[in-house]
Amino acid sequence: MSIFVDETTTVVVQGISPTSQGLYHGLRNRAYGTKVVAGTNPKRGGEEIEGIPVFGSVKEAVEATGATASFISVPPPHAAAAIIEAAEAGISFVVCITEGIPAQDEARAYNRLVETFPGTRLLGPNCPGIISPGKCNIGITAGDIALPGGPVGIVSRSGTLTYQALHELSQQGVGQTTCVGIGGDPVPGTNFIDCLAAFQADPDTKAVMMIGEIGGSEEERAAQYIAEHLTKPVVSYIAGVTAPPGRKMGHAGAIISGSQGTAQAKMEALSAAGAVVAQNPTEAGVRMVEIVKELG
């Protein structure tokens, strides 16, 4: 199985035009096999771009096509409104790859979803998206580095390391059920625990790879969840071991202050929870391959 998306998922691309990033990545997703059924652009409703019907709003797209998921690729000032528009239209899964959204906009959109649209899950913002190999790919992950067939689920804050995790496992012939890039912004719509719980409930996921980074306390909270709820083996890697305090490294959420949010603290918490903690991404792949072999 897979989590959040599968071969039945139908996608509307918000922010589509002949020269947009939304079209570029939407076409790549469609070429992978994802059911991209519509696009939206208030100025181009009624048109068709590369075989994708364009509607003036998400509501119109959902009414015409029955789309269940949204792929948002719009400029930062408009992204929060696009998220809410998707939720208002009844979309149950929203992937927002937009980077640079003001933190206040992210917080308002997230709180609005929680309070008013509990049936809508947001992935991102500022994330690579999600891929269930051989079934569905929404976002910017290259489909050719993923391998269908399980048995590993991947969740990562880092986009680049998401790709490396997929590649490391695929090179060793170890497939994935779903790979989720949750993004590194301060207010993620979907967090580690959401994904860990979904992987725990998925019978085809036998082990989980979790990739974190410095900043915040999401990894520590995930470690507590692993200790209390996860029965499947976890291999983890935390990026940013050499990052100096107070220095922003990469994502807006990847900043440490004093003893808070350090890689060492996160690694210790995960190790105490029973996870296998690797010192680099390649070692994480090697350790996961070993675990999969032991599982048979």
DSSP assignment string, 42-74: TTSTT-EETTEEEESSHHHHHHHH---EEEE--
CATH number of 10-123: 3.40.50.720
Span 49-57, average pLDDT = 98
Label residue 228 exposed, middle or buried (CB < 10 Å: 0-12, 13-18, 19+). Answer: exposed
* Residue-averaged pLDDT of the chain: 93
pLDDT band at 250 (very low <50, low <70, confident <90, very high): low
pLDDT band, very low/low/confident/very high, at 6 (cuts 50, 70, 90): very high
* Residue 240 pLDDT: 77
Say what the pLDDT of residue 127 is: 96
* Per-residue pLDDT at 241: 73
Mean pLDDT of 57-74: 98
Give 193's pLDDT tier (boundaries 50, 70, 90).
very high
Please say if the pLDDT value at position 44 is more than 70.
yes
Is the predicted pLDDT of residue 114 greater than 60, yes or no? yes
| Residues above pLDDT 90, as percent of the chain | 87
Asked whether the predicted pLDDT for residue 11 surpasses 80, the reply is yes
Cα 171 from Cα 285, distance rounded (Å): 10
Q: What are phi and psi of 235, to 5 degrees?
A: -110, 130
Better-scored residue on pLDDT, 95 or 249: 95
Higher pLDDT, 200 or 255: 200
pLDDT average, residue stretch 178-186: 94
Cis peptide before 118 (omega within 30 of 0): no
What average pLDDT does this structure show over 172-192? 95
The mean pLDDT of 229-241, rounded to a whole number, is 94
pLDDT confidence band for 215 (50 / 70 / 90): confident
Residue 245: the pLDDT is: 60
Amino acid at 192: F
Give me the residue spans of the domains in the chain.
10-123, 142-295
**pLDDT score, position 186:** 86
Q: Does the structure show a pLDDT above 70 at 151? A: yes
Catalytic residue among 25, 167, 229, 251: 251
Q: Tell me the average pLDDT across 20-42.
A: 97
* Burial class for 246, CB neighbours closer than 10 Å (0-12, 13-18, 19+): exposed
Q: Which CATH number fits domain 142-295: 3.40.50.280, 3.30.230.10, 3.40.50.261, 3.30.1640.10?
A: 3.40.50.261
Mean pLDDT, rounded, for 220-236:
98
pLDDT, residue 28, reads 98
Residues 67-78 have a mean pLDDT of 97
> Which is more confidently placed, 191 or 251?
191
d(CA 127, CA 251): 10
How many whole angstroms separate alpha carbon 57 and alpha carbon 81? 12
pLDDT, tens only, 80-104: 999 999 999 999 999 999 999 999 9
193, with CB counted inside 10 A (0-12, 13-18, 19+), is middle
Instruction: Tell me if 10-123 shares its fold with 142-295.
Output: yes
Among this protein's residues, is 251 annotated catalytic?
Answer: yes
Strand duo 276-278 + 10-14: pairing: unpaired
Q: Is the pLDDT of residue 161 over 70?
A: yes
Q: Convert the pLDDT of each residue in 255-278 to its tens digit.
A: 555 555 788 999 999 999 999 999
Whole-angstrom distance, CA of residue 189 vs CA of residue 143: 23
